[in-house]
A and B are shown apart, each in its own frame.
Chain A
């Protein structure tokens, strides 16, 4: 069978694993988007810019001697706070209005942030090295797996599952979901809904920043690193079903796999295949694979 495909089984396994690693990034980013959309009904177009800011934040911290590991915690907190400011000063003014307003606002924020970074740092980016602990790699027999990539996949899986658990299985998550359905009622029970909304947005943003820090040693830290990525991530969210937590995680990893395979069999189409799938899914199941029909 493998001979028929014109590829050795070893190479195929290698490519599948790589696809899964890229899928980890899709999952992490679309997870943040899904949380924000599911809980706040905001289509957060600034997500790519915030992802980029996470990577830049790690770079800045490095200039002050703060390495990768602390940055993994600090950068999401710092950028998350930035998200809180955006929510408190701008997004909360749009509560109750059509989705389009939030979309346009966050899109504008993204353009401004990217423009400012590009003005100061240029377009080719800044170097960020892999942390010493994760340098090198393992020879798995069928491929050479850099330690850092293995770390990425394990770490993002943990984050994804933890987020899903937090929102779907804990009391806090139950409040949150209830607040989305009926804010007035939840408020009547003494829950501070606006604060919860703000913190949720901050959390979604922190997830984007975390993905940014994870990507910094792999990609160049560039102002447009998020803009190139975010369109695909939106497609992932649409395929998974807007706002579905599990949907975005599963779709993220699956699409990473499919894209990985495309890179072997027809590389020219590797950046379109996700959109082809999106079009097909939307025709068959307009609410997305895991979306509930409204």
Chain B
């Protein structure tokens, strides 16, 4: 109230209601010529007041202006300066008394409370979190002070404080950075995470016609490499996160479904033709028994920070699957129906009959054979038993069919503040491309219900998934027959429709007719129940107790019926009808009590988690053979079999117990520190080494929240630097490996009536944990309001103490022993993920996401290698997947036999296995990734994904996978047409050695596959997935009484660019069914 100006001649006349200070200042300038100077940061010139000035003096006017704000003014010459009033002590004391207690409730756009949201006074940083009802109570704030309200996944909001603020509504953030990520025992966002986590949501999974949800991740997650073993329903799927950490033991990630651990491998006993899930694994994959449509999100946890809390089981990363939950709001019904077709996408270019017979005749001539052999496996293709003029494309006959694909899913959900539920059901049917009737049928139900007490302190959530699968498969994979059978082989059926054996005059069958195997029925019926119950109770504000109870039952009945149709008539004497029945069940339960504490300390948020895990798996199984059925019809009833033969029985218990904890401290969303620890015990280890400790530290610095970055790099909307270091472990060995056991061996007729026992390998009572130390640094950047997001990671993981089968000479009595081995494996690599919003217009949008991983694995250290059984196979400083091969020199122009270089580089026909393997081939992928595009135009949507891998693989371009060109073997003998480029006479410079009918060139043939010539580029770019949909315009939908509706077409494995000459570069094989090209059309409706 100091006034220093001398004269106050100027007066002002101005009346208006709700006028801003800025307007008043303009008026002052206009009427009096005085300038009003102020800093907009310190003076709120938008504040509106009502004024009624009539010839009012300037000081009076200014008093009025500053009355609403704590301002003072000075008049100097023609300038008026406004600035915040410097309050006296007494005034400050008075202000203190004037402060209020602000209270209110934070809700989302659907009026649901947001518990745990942060409410903070912008100026002082003081803040609280909302309670279970979203309510907050902030003591002693200035009325009108700016409060910042924020919550994970929502846009922050600034509001001014008042005593009763009512609902503060937060809008959901659309930035990718704010999508919820599920992590071990909690959630976070990419923005606040200290670890390396990639999330794939339901919308991506739903766009792909896959029968295993893991396949939906292919090409989309940096650091995650997935390979499908075959094109069969229920195929094996190999999953590796940041490389292979173990030389020859389990390298599977830990899978957790809704907080409950799930198996990574099935029990053995499945059908071998579906392939395995990683070397040494059993047939098939357990995720075939999860309906992809039931999944809300899949989170891939890669570094120590994200996984160390899983301790001993997360050395190979973790994949967390969250199933769908109900949605708040009115009852909603969703339907998704689709139907489609699958085909083998590629055919090999094989010889036709003319070329094939030319090859065979030349082979016979080369071997000096003039008399064609008669008899069962003689030269039936040329000796008159077969018609030499027939020409059949066996690929078309045997694998050229079209498979059917049907998938239906329906769900109902509804919810209010206290009760939310979801119920869903699905049906899936897939047939295959072979002749004969085989179908995989799955039916599933899924439900989730959650309830909370009136005071929101007690909550319960119960969910369950149940799936029944009935998979029928043939006994053998006809793909190998389709590429091997001679093109002039006889028809599969005789004129009267029976299976043709094309017998010679002595009634000896002239070929193995594969169609017989399609009559054999392999049937796998599996039931999978996954259920979990979560109870939580708020003991006091900030302190919650939670109990998670999980139960999983996976049981299979496999029925393998061997009819007599595939048996050559002359051998019927030796065969009996048999049914092999395999029963296996896995019962697993887990209990995880957890205590979490949340508290705001100073300007940061502290979260503490403490919990324990008790887990038990019980594996039981047996298989038996029922033999000698009198006819095909009774083969389902084992009582009709005169002979039983028990084949195998399993009974294993795995127990696991752990104590874990986590401390997370977040200072103003700028500095985040995350500490995790776990103490683990497993029954898979010997008494002395049952327990071990694991831990990790992760830290992040969100530098974009620093003022100096904000002002200098305004285009940078987000920037985070993070790093982590920690230890994780692996106990992926079988049960009881530390025990020395004798197993019963069963014979039809017990020797002297005595049950006999045989020792089951060597025991190692010193078995202990395998340990992986993971180091990781990463940077996440968002540009232009997060329209461009770039994530980069560098990781370096060292695995030591490796649990692995160690090959032993048989003088020890065993082929090997499981032991902790001294070698170290280093897996390192770069991962980049770039997501961009290329266009964001009203009617058109285009988003792109590109990911690339460049992995490297090395065997870095192996003390005493020369004393170990790896002395000649392990190569220090080379990848684990490296192998040594001969160097191929081509075909000797004089003899027509393959030539190789020996260790001195000299050409030889017979290189030495032990000494002459001088070339190193690494079979691991060099890099891999994917490019995803998503375009929207009005109601139309187009998504497509290209995935790519750079790798080498064995190329079967020197002759079929079993025998050299010219050999005729049980009706097989066809070769790739490229094998016509063979040696015929001295001087020929060609790629294929001379044709032969016998085994005299076997060595050279075997050696060529042990040479660098067989390992060629098998890189590929695959149009993995295309999704096109058209949404019904809202008006039409309304007319049809639908919430929404869309029609779509989707395709999988549509197009592959590769130089690989086999059937498929992913399966790297020409004898197993490649992944099918599947196209479906469908309809999605919301009622």
Instruction: Say whether A and B bind each other.
Output: no
Q: What residues of chain A have their CB less than 8 Å away from a CB belonging to chain B? A: none
